[in-house]
Amino acid sequence: MPTVVIVGAGPTGLTLACSLARQGVQVRVLEQATEYASGSRGKTLNPRSLEVLADLGILDRLTPHGRSRLPFRKYFAGEFVEDTDPYAGVRPTPAAPYEAGLFLPQWRVERALRELLGELGGRVELDSRVERFEQGPDAVRVLLADGRAVTGDYLVACDGGRSTVRKRLGIPLEGSSDPEFALVCGDVEVAGLEPDAWHQWFGPEGALMLCPFPGERSWQLQASPEFDADGVPLPPSLESFQRLVELRTGRSDIRLSEATWLSTWRVNVRMVDRYRVDRVLLAGDCAHVHPIAGGLGMNTGIQDAWNLGWKLGHVLTGLAGPGLLDTYQEERLPIAAWTLGVSSEGMAAVIEGVRTPGVGVEAGRLTDTTGLGLDYRWSSLAEDRLGGPLRAGDRAPDAPCTGPDGEPVRLFEAFAGSHYTLLGFGPAARSALADLPAHVRAVAVEAGAGSLVDHGGHARRAYGVTGDALVLVRPDNHVALTVPAGPAAGPAVRAYLDRR
Protein backbone atom coordinates (compact mmCIF):
# COMPACT_ATOMS: atom_id res chain seq x y z
CA MET A 1 0.00 0.00 0.00
CA PRO A 2 1.38 3.48 -0.82
CA THR A 3 2.46 5.34 2.31
CA VAL A 4 3.06 9.00 3.15
CA VAL A 5 4.93 10.02 6.29
CA ILE A 6 3.60 13.30 7.70
CA VAL A 7 5.61 15.14 10.34
CA GLY A 8 3.43 17.34 12.52
CA ALA A 9 -0.14 16.84 13.77
CA GLY A 10 -1.47 20.38 13.56
CA PRO A 11 -4.30 21.44 11.22
CA THR A 12 -2.03 21.26 8.16
CA GLY A 13 -0.72 17.75 8.79
CA LEU A 14 -4.10 16.41 9.86
CA THR A 15 -5.94 17.87 6.87
CA LEU A 16 -3.37 16.28 4.59
CA ALA A 17 -3.60 12.96 6.43
CA CYS A 18 -7.40 12.85 6.12
CA SER A 19 -7.30 13.80 2.45
CA LEU A 20 -4.85 10.99 1.71
CA ALA A 21 -6.49 8.38 3.94
CA ARG A 22 -9.85 8.73 2.23
CA GLN A 23 -8.07 8.01 -1.07
CA GLY A 24 -6.74 4.72 0.26
CA VAL A 25 -3.23 5.98 0.99
CA GLN A 26 -1.67 4.84 4.26
CA VAL A 27 -0.42 7.70 6.42
CA ARG A 28 2.04 7.75 9.32
CA VAL A 29 1.49 10.99 11.26
CA LEU A 30 4.46 11.66 13.53
CA GLU A 31 4.14 14.23 16.31
CA GLN A 32 7.07 14.97 18.62
CA ALA A 33 4.88 16.23 21.49
CA THR A 34 3.94 13.71 24.15
CA GLU A 35 0.33 14.92 24.33
CA TYR A 36 -2.10 16.72 22.04
CA ALA A 37 -1.97 20.51 21.98
CA SER A 38 -4.69 22.21 24.02
CA GLY A 39 -4.16 25.91 23.24
CA SER A 40 -6.61 28.11 21.35
CA ARG A 41 -3.79 29.47 19.10
CA GLY A 42 -5.18 30.10 15.56
CA LYS A 43 -8.82 30.79 16.37
CA THR A 44 -10.51 31.58 13.07
CA LEU A 45 -11.47 29.35 10.15
CA ASN A 46 -12.15 31.47 7.08
CA PRO A 47 -14.97 30.60 4.63
CA ARG A 48 -12.66 28.74 2.25
CA SER A 49 -11.41 26.51 5.08
CA LEU A 50 -15.03 25.89 6.07
CA GLU A 51 -15.63 24.60 2.54
CA VAL A 52 -12.62 22.29 2.86
CA LEU A 53 -13.81 20.88 6.18
CA ALA A 54 -17.35 20.48 4.84
CA ASP A 55 -15.96 18.47 1.93
CA LEU A 56 -14.16 16.25 4.45
CA GLY A 57 -17.47 15.81 6.25
CA ILE A 58 -16.60 17.28 9.65
CA LEU A 59 -17.87 20.86 9.56
CA ASP A 60 -21.03 19.89 11.42
CA ARG A 61 -18.80 18.66 14.28
CA LEU A 62 -17.24 22.12 14.58
CA THR A 63 -20.06 24.62 14.15
CA PRO A 64 -21.65 23.89 17.57
CA HIS A 65 -18.35 24.91 19.18
CA GLY A 66 -17.82 28.17 17.30
CA ARG A 67 -19.53 31.36 16.32
CA SER A 68 -19.51 33.36 13.10
CA ARG A 69 -21.00 36.50 14.59
CA LEU A 70 -18.72 37.98 17.24
CA PRO A 71 -19.01 41.73 17.94
CA PHE A 72 -15.76 43.64 18.41
CA ARG A 73 -16.04 45.70 21.63
CA LYS A 74 -13.51 48.51 21.45
CA TYR A 75 -12.02 50.60 24.21
CA PHE A 76 -9.42 53.35 24.10
CA ALA A 77 -7.29 54.32 27.11
CA GLY A 78 -9.66 52.25 29.23
CA GLU A 79 -12.87 53.93 28.03
CA PHE A 80 -15.55 52.17 26.00
CA VAL A 81 -15.74 53.46 22.42
CA GLU A 82 -18.14 51.27 20.45
CA ASP A 83 -19.25 47.81 19.37
CA THR A 84 -18.77 46.91 15.73
CA ASP A 85 -19.66 43.87 13.65
CA PRO A 86 -17.06 43.26 10.94
CA TYR A 87 -19.50 40.97 9.14
CA ALA A 88 -22.51 43.28 9.27
CA GLY A 89 -24.56 42.92 6.12
CA VAL A 90 -22.69 39.81 4.96
CA ARG A 91 -25.07 37.00 4.04
CA PRO A 92 -24.74 33.56 2.45
CA THR A 93 -25.18 33.45 -1.31
CA PRO A 94 -26.02 30.56 -3.62
CA ALA A 95 -22.37 30.50 -4.75
CA ALA A 96 -20.81 30.95 -1.29
CA PRO A 97 -22.77 29.25 1.51
CA TYR A 98 -20.46 30.34 4.35
CA GLU A 99 -20.76 34.08 4.70
CA ALA A 100 -18.22 34.53 7.49
CA GLY A 101 -15.46 32.73 9.31
CA LEU A 102 -15.89 30.62 12.42
CA PHE A 103 -14.28 31.60 15.73
CA LEU A 104 -13.27 28.54 17.76
CA PRO A 105 -10.14 27.21 19.50
CA GLN A 106 -7.62 25.51 17.25
CA TRP A 107 -7.59 22.42 19.45
CA ARG A 108 -11.22 21.85 18.47
CA VAL A 109 -10.24 21.75 14.80
CA GLU A 110 -7.41 19.34 15.51
CA ARG A 111 -9.63 17.06 17.59
CA ALA A 112 -12.26 16.83 14.84
CA LEU A 113 -9.59 16.03 12.25
CA ARG A 114 -8.04 13.38 14.51
CA GLU A 115 -11.46 11.78 14.96
CA LEU A 116 -11.94 11.66 11.20
CA LEU A 117 -8.46 10.25 10.70
CA GLY A 118 -9.29 7.49 13.18
CA GLU A 119 -12.49 6.68 11.30
CA LEU A 120 -10.39 6.40 8.13
CA GLY A 121 -8.00 3.95 9.78
CA GLY A 122 -5.18 6.30 10.74
CA ARG A 123 -3.84 7.77 13.96
CA VAL A 124 -1.33 10.26 15.33
CA GLU A 125 1.88 8.78 16.75
CA LEU A 126 2.81 10.96 19.72
CA ASP A 127 6.33 11.20 21.16
CA SER A 128 7.82 10.60 17.71
CA ARG A 129 10.59 13.11 17.16
CA VAL A 130 12.33 13.06 13.79
CA GLU A 131 16.11 12.94 14.00
CA ARG A 132 16.94 12.71 10.30
CA PHE A 133 15.81 11.11 7.06
CA GLU A 134 17.32 9.50 3.98
CA GLN A 135 15.94 9.80 0.47
CA GLY A 136 16.22 7.02 -2.06
CA PRO A 137 14.97 6.77 -5.64
CA ASP A 138 11.69 5.15 -4.56
CA ALA A 139 11.20 5.93 -0.86
CA VAL A 140 12.12 8.07 2.14
CA ARG A 141 13.39 6.50 5.36
CA VAL A 142 12.73 8.58 8.47
CA LEU A 143 14.83 7.92 11.57
CA LEU A 144 13.33 8.85 14.93
CA ALA A 145 15.08 9.90 18.12
CA ASP A 146 14.01 6.72 19.89
CA GLY A 147 15.74 4.55 17.29
CA ARG A 148 12.68 3.60 15.25
CA ALA A 149 12.63 3.94 11.48
CA VAL A 150 9.58 4.74 9.35
CA THR A 151 9.54 4.38 5.57
CA GLY A 152 7.19 6.00 3.10
CA ASP A 153 6.87 6.82 -0.58
CA TYR A 154 6.92 10.52 0.33
CA LEU A 155 7.63 12.63 3.40
CA VAL A 156 5.66 15.84 4.04
CA ALA A 157 6.89 18.31 6.64
CA CYS A 158 4.08 20.04 8.52
CA ASP A 159 6.16 20.67 11.63
CA GLY A 160 5.99 24.45 11.92
CA GLY A 161 8.35 27.38 11.67
CA ARG A 162 11.17 25.58 13.48
CA SER A 163 10.79 22.54 11.20
CA THR A 164 13.40 19.85 11.69
CA VAL A 165 12.71 18.46 8.23
CA ARG A 166 13.14 21.80 6.49
CA LYS A 167 16.39 22.44 8.33
CA ARG A 168 17.70 18.98 7.39
CA LEU A 169 16.90 19.79 3.77
CA GLY A 170 18.98 22.97 4.07
CA ILE A 171 16.11 25.22 2.96
CA PRO A 172 16.12 28.55 4.83
CA LEU A 173 13.08 30.61 5.78
CA GLU A 174 14.10 33.79 4.01
CA GLY A 175 12.76 37.17 5.05
CA SER A 176 12.85 39.47 8.03
CA SER A 177 12.02 39.69 11.72
CA ASP A 178 11.05 42.53 14.03
CA PRO A 179 12.68 41.68 17.36
CA GLU A 180 11.24 44.83 18.95
CA PHE A 181 7.62 43.80 18.48
CA ALA A 182 6.08 40.95 20.43
CA LEU A 183 2.74 39.73 21.74
CA VAL A 184 2.14 37.58 24.77
CA CYS A 185 -0.70 35.10 24.35
CA GLY A 186 -2.50 32.62 26.54
CA ASP A 187 -5.70 30.91 27.52
CA VAL A 188 -7.26 32.11 30.79
CA GLU A 189 -10.54 32.00 32.64
CA VAL A 190 -12.10 35.45 33.03
CA ALA A 191 -14.45 36.89 35.63
CA GLY A 192 -15.95 40.36 35.32
CA LEU A 193 -16.55 40.46 31.54
CA GLU A 194 -19.52 39.36 29.49
CA PRO A 195 -18.56 36.67 26.93
CA ASP A 196 -20.68 38.33 24.24
CA ALA A 197 -17.90 40.14 22.37
CA TRP A 198 -14.21 40.20 21.55
CA HIS A 199 -12.97 42.87 23.97
CA GLN A 200 -10.18 45.02 22.51
CA TRP A 201 -8.38 47.70 24.51
CA PHE A 202 -6.05 49.98 22.55
CA GLY A 203 -4.22 53.03 23.85
CA PRO A 204 -0.87 54.69 24.56
CA GLU A 205 0.18 51.83 26.86
CA GLY A 206 -0.33 49.22 24.18
CA ALA A 207 -2.98 46.65 23.28
CA LEU A 208 -4.92 44.00 25.18
CA MET A 209 -7.52 41.66 23.70
CA LEU A 210 -9.72 39.05 25.37
CA CYS A 211 -11.72 36.73 23.12
CA PRO A 212 -14.32 34.26 24.49
CA PHE A 213 -15.32 30.95 22.95
CA PRO A 214 -18.88 29.59 23.16
CA GLY A 215 -19.25 26.74 25.63
CA GLU A 216 -15.65 27.09 26.84
CA ARG A 217 -14.48 28.41 30.19
CA SER A 218 -11.23 29.76 28.78
CA TRP A 219 -10.73 32.94 26.76
CA GLN A 220 -7.79 33.80 24.54
CA LEU A 221 -5.66 36.69 25.75
CA GLN A 222 -3.35 38.64 23.45
CA ALA A 223 -1.41 41.68 24.61
CA SER A 224 1.65 43.75 24.00
CA PRO A 225 3.95 42.61 26.80
CA GLU A 226 5.65 44.08 29.82
CA PHE A 227 9.38 44.70 29.46
CA ASP A 228 12.26 44.39 31.89
CA ALA A 229 14.85 47.10 32.53
CA ASP A 230 16.79 46.00 29.45
CA GLY A 231 13.76 46.21 27.16
CA VAL A 232 13.28 42.44 26.95
CA PRO A 233 9.67 41.20 27.00
CA LEU A 234 8.79 39.47 30.26
CA PRO A 235 7.65 35.87 29.83
CA PRO A 236 3.89 35.34 29.98
CA SER A 237 2.33 34.17 33.23
CA LEU A 238 -0.97 34.48 35.03
CA GLU A 239 0.52 37.21 37.22
CA SER A 240 1.81 39.23 34.28
CA PHE A 241 -1.50 38.82 32.46
CA GLN A 242 -3.38 40.17 35.50
CA ARG A 243 -1.06 43.19 35.69
CA LEU A 244 -1.57 43.87 31.99
CA VAL A 245 -5.34 43.69 32.36
CA GLU A 246 -5.34 46.21 35.17
CA LEU A 247 -2.91 48.51 33.37
CA ARG A 248 -4.59 48.47 29.95
CA THR A 249 -8.23 48.49 31.10
CA GLY A 250 -7.95 50.69 34.20
CA ARG A 251 -10.17 48.17 35.96
CA SER A 252 -9.59 45.97 38.99
CA ASP A 253 -12.83 43.99 38.72
CA ILE A 254 -11.64 41.82 35.80
CA ARG A 255 -10.00 38.79 37.35
CA LEU A 256 -8.06 36.09 35.55
CA SER A 257 -7.44 32.52 36.64
CA GLU A 258 -6.39 29.11 35.32
CA ALA A 259 -3.80 30.20 32.78
CA THR A 260 -2.94 27.23 30.54
CA TRP A 261 -1.43 27.78 27.11
CA LEU A 262 1.23 30.51 27.41
CA SER A 263 3.24 31.86 24.49
CA THR A 264 5.21 34.83 23.22
CA TRP A 265 4.76 35.64 19.54
CA ARG A 266 7.22 37.75 17.56
CA VAL A 267 6.83 39.15 14.07
CA ASN A 268 8.52 37.04 11.41
CA VAL A 269 7.89 37.53 7.71
CA ARG A 270 9.62 34.59 6.07
CA MET A 271 9.07 31.90 3.47
CA VAL A 272 10.93 29.23 1.56
CA ASP A 273 11.91 29.46 -2.10
CA ARG A 274 10.76 25.93 -2.91
CA TYR A 275 8.21 23.47 -1.56
CA ARG A 276 9.78 20.23 -2.71
CA VAL A 277 13.10 18.42 -2.81
CA ASP A 278 12.57 15.11 -4.59
CA ARG A 279 10.35 13.01 -2.28
CA VAL A 280 10.15 15.54 0.55
CA LEU A 281 7.55 18.30 0.50
CA LEU A 282 6.81 21.24 2.82
CA ALA A 283 3.44 22.65 3.92
CA GLY A 284 2.02 25.19 6.36
CA ASP A 285 4.18 27.19 8.78
CA CYS A 286 7.10 24.99 7.84
CA ALA A 287 7.11 26.85 4.51
CA HIS A 288 5.85 30.31 5.47
CA VAL A 289 5.49 32.38 8.66
CA HIS A 290 3.87 35.79 8.76
CA PRO A 291 2.03 38.28 10.99
CA ILE A 292 -1.26 37.21 12.54
CA ALA A 293 -3.25 40.09 11.04
CA GLY A 294 -6.10 38.78 8.93
CA GLY A 295 -6.12 35.37 10.62
CA LEU A 296 -4.48 33.65 7.65
CA GLY A 297 -2.03 31.30 9.37
CA MET A 298 -4.06 28.17 10.13
CA ASN A 299 -6.15 28.74 7.00
CA THR A 300 -3.18 28.96 4.64
CA GLY A 301 -1.81 25.72 6.08
CA ILE A 302 -5.13 23.91 5.67
CA GLN A 303 -5.32 25.08 2.08
CA ASP A 304 -1.72 24.03 1.38
CA ALA A 305 -2.74 20.56 2.52
CA TRP A 306 -5.94 20.65 0.46
CA ASN A 307 -3.96 21.48 -2.69
CA LEU A 308 -1.31 18.83 -2.04
CA GLY A 309 -3.60 16.07 -0.78
CA TRP A 310 -5.44 15.19 -3.97
CA LYS A 311 -2.30 15.53 -6.08
CA LEU A 312 -0.23 13.23 -3.90
CA GLY A 313 -3.13 10.80 -3.67
CA HIS A 314 -3.68 10.70 -7.43
CA VAL A 315 0.03 10.11 -8.05
CA LEU A 316 0.27 7.32 -5.47
CA THR A 317 -2.89 5.55 -6.65
CA GLY A 318 -1.87 5.69 -10.31
CA LEU A 319 -4.40 8.28 -11.47
CA ALA A 320 -1.70 10.79 -12.43
CA GLY A 321 1.98 10.90 -13.21
CA PRO A 322 4.57 12.23 -10.73
CA GLY A 323 4.80 15.50 -12.64
CA LEU A 324 1.50 16.55 -11.07
CA LEU A 325 3.38 17.17 -7.82
CA ASP A 326 5.34 19.98 -9.48
CA THR A 327 2.14 22.00 -9.63
CA TYR A 328 1.92 22.10 -5.83
CA GLN A 329 4.83 24.53 -5.62
CA GLU A 330 3.72 26.27 -8.80
CA GLU A 331 0.34 27.08 -7.27
CA ARG A 332 1.02 27.54 -3.58
CA LEU A 333 4.30 29.48 -3.59
CA PRO A 334 2.63 32.64 -5.01
CA ILE A 335 -0.17 32.28 -2.45
CA ALA A 336 2.42 32.24 0.35
CA ALA A 337 4.04 35.39 -1.03
CA TRP A 338 0.61 37.08 -1.21
CA THR A 339 -0.14 36.02 2.36
CA LEU A 340 3.11 37.48 3.68
CA GLY A 341 2.41 40.75 1.89
CA VAL A 342 -1.17 41.33 3.02
CA SER A 343 -0.59 40.16 6.59
CA SER A 344 2.43 42.46 6.93
CA GLU A 345 0.46 45.44 5.66
CA GLY A 346 -2.40 44.49 7.95
CA MET A 347 -0.13 44.19 10.97
CA ALA A 348 1.29 47.65 10.30
CA ALA A 349 -2.24 49.03 10.17
CA VAL A 350 -3.15 47.41 13.49
CA ILE A 351 0.01 48.70 15.20
CA GLU A 352 -0.74 52.19 13.94
CA GLY A 353 -4.35 51.83 15.02
CA VAL A 354 -3.33 51.18 18.63
CA ARG A 355 -2.95 54.94 18.89
CA THR A 356 -6.36 55.75 17.39
CA PRO A 357 -9.71 55.60 19.25
CA GLY A 358 -12.23 53.24 17.64
CA VAL A 359 -9.71 51.12 15.75
CA GLY A 360 -9.71 47.37 16.37
CA VAL A 361 -8.13 44.28 14.91
CA GLU A 362 -10.28 44.53 11.76
CA ALA A 363 -7.81 47.25 10.70
CA GLY A 364 -5.60 44.35 9.67
CA ARG A 365 -8.04 43.17 7.03
CA LEU A 366 -6.94 45.36 4.16
CA THR A 367 -8.16 42.93 1.53
CA ASP A 368 -10.41 39.90 1.15
CA THR A 369 -9.26 37.32 3.68
CA THR A 370 -12.12 34.85 3.10
CA GLY A 371 -9.94 32.75 0.80
CA LEU A 372 -12.80 32.57 -1.72
CA GLY A 373 -11.18 34.92 -4.20
CA LEU A 374 -7.79 33.22 -4.38
CA ASP A 375 -7.18 31.51 -7.71
CA TYR A 376 -4.60 29.58 -9.71
CA ARG A 377 -5.22 31.19 -13.11
CA TRP A 378 -1.47 31.15 -13.79
CA SER A 379 -1.22 27.40 -13.21
CA SER A 380 -0.27 24.92 -15.90
CA LEU A 381 -3.36 23.00 -14.74
CA ALA A 382 -5.66 25.83 -15.85
CA GLU A 383 -7.04 25.60 -19.39
CA ASP A 384 -9.72 28.11 -20.29
CA ARG A 385 -11.53 27.94 -23.64
CA LEU A 386 -14.67 29.86 -22.75
CA GLY A 387 -13.19 33.18 -21.68
CA GLY A 388 -16.10 33.94 -19.37
CA PRO A 389 -16.07 35.76 -16.02
CA LEU A 390 -15.22 32.52 -14.21
CA ARG A 391 -11.87 31.31 -15.44
CA ALA A 392 -9.92 28.08 -15.17
CA GLY A 393 -7.97 28.22 -11.90
CA ASP A 394 -10.75 29.98 -10.00
CA ARG A 395 -12.53 28.45 -7.03
CA ALA A 396 -15.52 26.46 -8.27
CA PRO A 397 -18.67 28.02 -6.78
CA ASP A 398 -21.61 26.27 -5.21
CA ALA A 399 -25.18 26.47 -6.55
CA PRO A 400 -28.56 25.09 -5.43
CA CYS A 401 -30.27 22.83 -7.96
CA THR A 402 -32.99 20.20 -7.98
CA GLY A 403 -32.16 16.55 -8.61
CA PRO A 404 -33.99 14.22 -10.99
CA ASP A 405 -36.05 12.99 -8.02
CA GLY A 406 -37.20 16.50 -7.23
CA GLU A 407 -35.05 16.75 -4.10
CA PRO A 408 -32.77 19.78 -3.54
CA VAL A 409 -29.09 19.20 -4.25
CA ARG A 410 -26.06 21.50 -4.20
CA LEU A 411 -23.09 21.36 -6.52
CA PHE A 412 -20.81 21.12 -3.48
CA GLU A 413 -22.44 17.77 -2.70
CA ALA A 414 -21.41 16.50 -6.12
CA PHE A 415 -17.86 17.81 -5.65
CA ALA A 416 -17.29 16.23 -2.22
CA GLY A 417 -14.56 13.61 -2.48
CA SER A 418 -11.27 13.14 -4.28
CA HIS A 419 -12.63 12.90 -7.82
CA TYR A 420 -12.84 15.34 -10.69
CA THR A 421 -16.36 16.55 -11.49
CA LEU A 422 -17.39 17.27 -15.06
CA LEU A 423 -20.30 19.71 -15.23
CA GLY A 424 -22.17 19.56 -18.51
CA PHE A 425 -24.42 22.55 -19.14
CA GLY A 426 -27.13 22.09 -21.76
CA PRO A 427 -28.16 19.26 -24.10
CA ALA A 428 -25.12 19.67 -26.36
CA ALA A 429 -22.85 18.75 -23.45
CA ARG A 430 -24.59 15.44 -22.85
CA SER A 431 -22.48 13.21 -25.10
CA ALA A 432 -19.22 14.34 -23.45
CA LEU A 433 -20.44 13.08 -20.06
CA ALA A 434 -20.37 9.44 -21.15
CA ASP A 435 -17.49 6.94 -20.92
CA LEU A 436 -15.46 8.96 -18.45
CA PRO A 437 -12.65 7.53 -16.28
CA ALA A 438 -13.71 6.21 -12.88
CA HIS A 439 -12.16 9.18 -11.06
CA VAL A 440 -14.38 11.67 -12.93
CA ARG A 441 -17.99 12.20 -11.83
CA ALA A 442 -20.38 13.41 -14.54
CA VAL A 443 -23.03 15.96 -13.54
CA ALA A 444 -25.50 17.11 -16.19
CA VAL A 445 -27.15 20.50 -15.63
CA GLU A 446 -30.26 21.33 -17.66
CA ALA A 447 -29.16 18.70 -20.16
CA GLY A 448 -32.31 16.62 -20.47
CA ALA A 449 -33.68 13.63 -18.58
CA GLY A 450 -31.84 12.69 -15.41
CA SER A 451 -29.97 15.97 -15.11
CA LEU A 452 -29.99 18.63 -12.41
CA VAL A 453 -32.52 21.40 -12.83
CA ASP A 454 -31.08 24.91 -12.41
CA HIS A 455 -34.41 26.47 -11.42
CA GLY A 456 -33.09 29.84 -10.33
CA GLY A 457 -30.31 29.97 -12.90
CA HIS A 458 -27.82 30.05 -10.02
CA ALA A 459 -25.45 27.48 -11.53
CA ARG A 460 -25.25 29.20 -14.90
CA ARG A 461 -24.72 32.60 -13.31
CA ALA A 462 -22.07 31.29 -10.93
CA TYR A 463 -20.11 29.70 -13.77
CA GLY A 464 -20.75 32.46 -16.29
CA VAL A 465 -22.22 29.96 -18.76
CA THR A 466 -24.78 31.26 -21.26
CA GLY A 467 -24.71 28.55 -23.91
CA ASP A 468 -23.89 24.86 -23.70
CA ALA A 469 -20.53 24.16 -22.11
CA LEU A 470 -18.37 21.80 -20.08
CA VAL A 471 -16.59 22.75 -16.86
CA LEU A 472 -14.12 20.31 -15.34
CA VAL A 473 -13.68 20.83 -11.59
CA ARG A 474 -10.61 19.56 -9.76
CA PRO A 475 -10.78 17.47 -6.58
CA ASP A 476 -9.85 20.59 -4.55
CA ASN A 477 -12.82 22.42 -6.09
CA HIS A 478 -10.93 24.71 -8.45
CA VAL A 479 -11.86 24.92 -12.10
CA ALA A 480 -9.48 22.90 -14.26
CA LEU A 481 -10.91 23.30 -17.79
CA THR A 482 -13.71 25.19 -19.49
CA VAL A 483 -14.74 24.40 -23.05
CA PRO A 484 -17.78 25.04 -25.26
CA ALA A 485 -19.98 22.00 -25.83
CA GLY A 486 -19.68 20.34 -29.21
CA PRO A 487 -17.90 17.51 -31.03
CA ALA A 488 -14.48 18.63 -29.78
CA ALA A 489 -15.48 19.01 -26.13
CA GLY A 490 -15.27 15.36 -25.08
CA PRO A 491 -11.84 14.82 -26.67
CA ALA A 492 -10.64 18.04 -25.02
CA VAL A 493 -11.64 16.75 -21.58
CA ARG A 494 -10.00 13.38 -22.15
CA ALA A 495 -6.84 14.98 -23.50
CA TYR A 496 -6.66 17.20 -20.41
CA LEU A 497 -6.96 14.20 -18.09
CA ASP A 498 -4.46 12.16 -20.09
CA ARG A 499 -1.85 14.90 -19.73
CA ARG A 500 -2.10 14.63 -15.95
Mean pLDDT of 261-290: 95
Instruction: Check residue 83 and give its pLDDT.
Output: 94
What's the confidence (pLDDT) of residue 424? 97
The residues with which 249 forms a beta bridge, in sequence order, are: none
pLDDT value at 180 more than 70: no
The confidence score (pLDDT) of residue 267 equals 86
pLDDT digits (tens, 9 = 90+) for 279-333: 999 999 999 999 888 888 999 999 999 999 999 999 999 999 999 999 999 999 9
- The answer to whether residue 76 scores a pLDDT higher than 90 is yes
Structural domains of the chain in order of their starting residue, each with its CATH number: 3-66+92-173+271-344 (3.50.50.60), 383-498 (3.40.30.20)
> What mean pLDDT value characterizes the chain?
94
Q: Say if residue 181's pLDDT is above 80.
A: no
Q: What is the pTM of this model?
A: 0.97
> Distances from the Cα of 314 to the Cαs of 29, 92, 325, 500, in angstroms?
19, 33, 10, 10
Asked whether residue 346 carries a pLDDT value surpassing 90, the answer given is no
Tell me the pLDDT tens digit for each residue of 11-26: 999 999 999 999 999 9
Question: pLDDT (tens digit, 9 = 90+) per residue, 114-166?
Answer: 999 999 999 999 999 999 999 999 999 999 999 999 999 999 999 999 999 99
- Are the CB atoms for 158 and 16 separated by under 8 Å? yes
Answer whether residue 440 shows pLDDT above 70: yes
Query: Which own/partner contact pairs does 69-73 have at CB distance under 8 Å and 24+ positions apart?
Result: 69/100, 70/103, 70/197, 70/198, 70/211, 71/196, 71/197, 71/198, 72/197, 72/198, 72/200, 72/360, 72/361, 72/362, 73/197, 73/198, 73/199, 73/200
pLDDT of 460 > 80? The answer is yes
CA distance 136 to 153: 9
Is residue 82 within 8 Å of residue 358, measured between CB atoms? yes
Higher pLDDT, 294 or 425: 425
Q: Which of 20, 51, 29, 22 minimizes the C-alpha distance to 158? A: 29
pLDDT of 350 over the 90 cut:
no
Q: What is the mean pLDDT of residues 350-357?
A: 79
Quick one: pLDDT at residue 88? 84
The predicted pLDDT at position 418 comes to: 97
Task: State the pLDDT at residue 90.
Answer: 86
Note the pLDDT of residue 190. 98
Q: Which of 30-39, 61-70, 103-112, 180-189 has the lowest mean pLDDT?
A: 180-189
Q: Please say if the pLDDT value at position 439 is more than 70.
A: yes
